[in-house]
Chains A and B, each alone.
Chain A
Amino acid sequence: MNPEIISTTTEEYKELIESLKKDGFEMMVDLTVVDWFRKKEPRFEIVVQFLSTSKNSRRTVKVFVNDEDLTIPSITDIYPSANFYEREAYDMFGIVFEDHPDLTRILMPDDWEGHPLRKNYGSGRIPVQFKNAPKVD
């Protein structure tokens, strides 16, 4: 089933989501980010998948977010399921969701530096040490 794709801007993003909710899209299924580093401008593309079980259809919403700005309104008040996904997007790409109740890292440790899924983040091995644990050799 091919989802219908809607492109929008960060200003109109929240209104669009509200209208989708009114249109009967009960579930926000997935939220993820694509990093178009040096390929597209603006750099980050946020891709949100919606599902309507009553109409049996899907929608994909795509928003581009600027590298300097990095902020986009949070949709957790409309779809509570966005909570974890927005935290994941913040953790992995550094996108800041405004008015999110608890925008902290979710998968990486709290004191991690950098955002691992960005294209300019290398994928080498990093020595991992537990937080503040004394070294035992």
Chain B
Amino acid sequence: MKNNRIKKSKLSNFKNKLDFWATNSEEGGWNISSTDEGSQKMLENENEKQIKIQTGTEVVDDFVIDEDTSDDERMIVNMGPQHPSTHGVLRLQLELEGEVVRRVKPIIGYLHTGMEKTGEELNYFQGPTNTTRMDYLSPLFNELVFSLTTEKLIGIEVPKRAETIRILMTELNRVSSHLVALATGGMDIGALSMMIFGFRERELILNFFEKTTGLRMNHNYIRPGGVAADLPDGWQKDVEEILKIIPEKLQDYDDMLLDNPIWKGRLQNVGILTTEECFAYGVTGPSLRASGYSWDLRKSQPYSGIENYEFDVPTLTEGDVFARWRVKVLEIFESLKIIEQAMNNMPKGPYKVQDKKITPPPRKRLDESMEALIHHFKIYTEGFKVPEGDAYVAVESPRGELGCYIVSDGSAKPYRMHVRGPSFCNLQALPVIMTDSPIADAVAAIASLDPVLGDVDR
């Protein structure tokens, strides 16, 4: 009897396995319905308000219904989460009429790893290791905003050299991030050479990052109180090379794409976002500037001494995918200007604050001084205490306003650490730019917003 039971359970186990793999068979059919449960229904039972959001007509009503389409052509399709042109694990529920997108519902959370919860368990010294992994294409901005918020809470100012290194590194990061945006944007539309070009030029900058910080991504380089290490010997040569090569290559991109009728035909008048809609959905960064509103936190609310540099804010008025692509190219030129100025005016001096309670002493001092050893031990075991209070600081990341809100209860760990990711907010504008256009244009529209899912889900 007992034996029999074991056999039975073994058999059912086997059947389960079979069901799992053979979902095409008639008996395994229940599996299909259970694993994608509700996927077709999510768009159906909804109220008027939701439909307005999903058709992108909440702010400006430009919804056009072609009367000819019958219900047979109406179809609900899941795009993603595993889809190459959704830039990660973004899932979109689309209602299609023939080939035209009518309604869009973005579904996120597939990359959620609870970084804000983790941030409450790491001290301020460890904090940048966590935040740098959020927006993995512009990690230095995440470190910068965390460090600036912490410094604001403590009330310290970093030395001039640290500020200039921060500007130099973040602007290089903006160039590399925009290059990826151009590359993947080109790839989604079918300009595969653009993809290879963009990643090739980005490699130059990543090599410099590797030389300076030790890593290509997730650097943990900008820390509260300054930066982790000084620039390597002969860094000017590398930066000069970047400054020489990238404009040449950008010229190549322009020769290839700017007057290219196919490129223009695919991108112009696609995915239009008006200034009004940008404000309503909180869209910032290049997308806002492409919609004809000149707003850049580097100019209006400067951080880290960026008000001392000369640069322009490129603004275009069309608000379509082409304008968003063009603004990114122009911004690279402006960033290169800032990099050149930072390189030529690099001040001498310490690269982190000399307060031994906040930044660890150099390795050499540990062998000589007992106090240095104590400070070193204290910082690496307990971290430093930050006075009670809360602060919100925002910087201009390649995707828009990147904010950090930290609440401190006077201990060495943040009581609450919240990061306002620009991609999270920009994603809300997806229905506006995707609806009423063919699904092939929708892909271009997603790429133009340049969402990074690590930043969306955190």
CA distance A100 to B334 in the complex (A): 41
CA distance A109 to B457 in the complex (A): 12
Question: Is there contact, CB below 8 Å, between A80 and B58?
Answer: yes
Closest residue of B by beta carbon distance from A57? B301
Given contacts A34-B415, A135-B16, contact A1 B37 (CB under 8 A): no
Contact with B along A102-137 (1 / 0, CB 8 A): 100111111000001100000100000011111110
Interface with B: A7-15, A21-29, A64-72, which one?
A21-29
Question: Is there contact, CB below 8 Å, between B392 and A49?
Answer: yes
Question: Is there contact, CB below 8 Å, between B282 and A47?
Answer: no
Within 8 A of A (CB), among B30-56: 31, 34-35, 37-38, 46-47, 49-50, 53
Question: Is there contact, CB below 8 Å, between B53 and A80?
Answer: yes
> CB-CB < 8 A to B35: which residues of A?
130-133
CA distance A116 to B257 in the complex (A): 47
Question: Is there contact, CB below 8 Å, between A117 and B116?
Answer: yes
Contact with B along A26-55 (1 / 0, CB 8 A): 111110101100010000000101010100
Q: How many residues of A contact B (CB 8 A)?
A: 43
Question: Is there contact, CB below 8 Å, between A123 and B428?
Answer: no
What's the least CB distance linking B441 to chain A, in Å? Answer: 23
Given contacts A133-B35, A136-B16, A136-B17, contact A123 B114 (CB under 8 A): yes
Given contacts A101-B53, A130-B35, A131-B35, contact A30 B20 (CB under 8 A): no
Question: Is there contact, CB below 8 Å, between A79 and B280?
Answer: yes
Question: Is there contact, CB below 8 Å, between B37 and A131?
Answer: yes
Question: Is there contact, CB below 8 Å, between B53 and A83?
Answer: yes
Question: Which secondary structure dominates chain B's binding surface?
Answer: mixed
Given contacts A32-B418, A80-B53, contact A107 B47 (CB under 8 A): no
> CB-CB < 8 A to A85: which residues of B?
425
Question: Is there contact, CB below 8 Å, between A49 and B403?
Answer: yes
Closest residue of A by beta carbon distance from B281? A81
Closest residue of B by beta carbon distance from A123? B117
Closest residue of A by beta carbon distance from B393? A1
Given contacts A47-B405, A80-B428, contact A106 B108 (CB under 8 A): yes
Question: Is there contact, CB below 8 Å, between B420 and A107?
Answer: no
CA distance A59 to B427 in the complex (A): 23
Given contacts A56-B300, A107-B112, A117-B116, contact A29 B49 (CB under 8 A): no
What's the least CB distance linking A100 to chain B, in Å? Answer: 9
What's the least CB distance linking A87 to chain B, in Å? Answer: 10
Counting CB contacts under 8 A, is B379 at the interface?
no
> CB-CB < 8 A to A73: which residues of B?
none
> CB-CB < 8 A to B420: which residues of A?
29-30, 32, 49
What's the least CB distance linking A23 to chain B, in Å? Answer: 14
CA distance A47 to B403 in the complex (A): 13
> CB-CB < 8 A to A53: which residues of B?
279, 293, 295, 300
Question: Is there contact, CB below 8 Å, between B280 and A80?
Answer: yes
Question: Is there contact, CB below 8 Å, between A132 and B282?
Answer: no
Given contacts A29-B420, A132-B34, contact A117 B282 (CB under 8 A): no
CA distance A101 to B46 in the complex (A): 9
> CB-CB < 8 A to A30: which residues of B?
392, 403, 405, 418, 420
Question: Is there contact, CB below 8 Å, between A29 and B407?
Answer: no
Counting CB contacts under 8 A, is B154 at the interface?
no
Question: Is there contact, CB below 8 Å, between A1 and B34?
Answer: no
Q: List 7 A-B contacts (CB under 8 A).
A: A1-B301, A29-B403, A47-B390, A53-B279, A79-B282, A107-B457, A123-B114
Q: Beyond A32-B416, A34-B416, A136-B20, list 14 extra A-B contacts (CB 8 Å).
A: A29-B403, A30-B403, A32-B405, A34-B407, A53-B300, A56-B300, A80-B280, A84-B425, A107-B108, A110-B38, A116-B114, A132-B34, A134-B16, A134-B19
9 closest cross-chain pairs (CB), A and B: A81-B282, A101-B49, A107-B109, A26-B279, A132-B34, A30-B420, A107-B112, A32-B418, A1-B301
